[in-house]
Amino acid sequence: MVRFIELLGEAWGKFEETKWLLPVPIILSLMDYSNLTKVLSFEGFHIGVRFPLPEPVPGLWSFVSVPAGSPGVAFSAGSLVIMALAIVLGSYLEAGYHPTGL
């Protein structure tokens, strides 16, 4: 028979070793500017849940269905620089999230 308390204690020990990874999915979720603007500018009612395929670092947007925004894309020089910096920062965060370096 499985001893739940022992397994819970073992899991808590693993969490103590890796709790520094907790902010990574939160930071990556906040870095997705387009989803943030869609949610903050949406007026009305929307219910949606997603069931995604496995992702390297699941974040908030992996499980939340975002309301559809207006069609089209607009870029400026500043937004391209910010996007490049976000990609580099996100890559470093994802690489550090996996201890095996996958």
Distance, CA of 70 to CA of 81 (rounded, Å): 23
How crowded is the C-beta side of 4, counted as CA atoms within 13 Å? 0
Distance, CA of 52 to CA of 65 (rounded, Å): 10
Distance, CA of 69 to CA of 39 (rounded, Å): 9
What does the pLDDT profile of the chain (102 residues) look like in tens digits?
A: 578 888 888 888 888 888 888 888 888 888 888 888 887 887 777 776 666 677 777 778 777 777 775 555 566 778 788 888 888 888 888 787 766 644
Distance, CA of 98 to CA of 15 (rounded, Å): 14
- pLDDT value at position 33? 80
- pLDDT value at position 36? 82
How crowded is the C-beta side of 92, counted as CA atoms within 13 Å? 6
Which residues 6+ apart lie within 8 Å of 31 measured at CB? Answer: 86, 89, 90
Domain boundaries, the chain: 1-43
- pLDDT value at position 37? 82
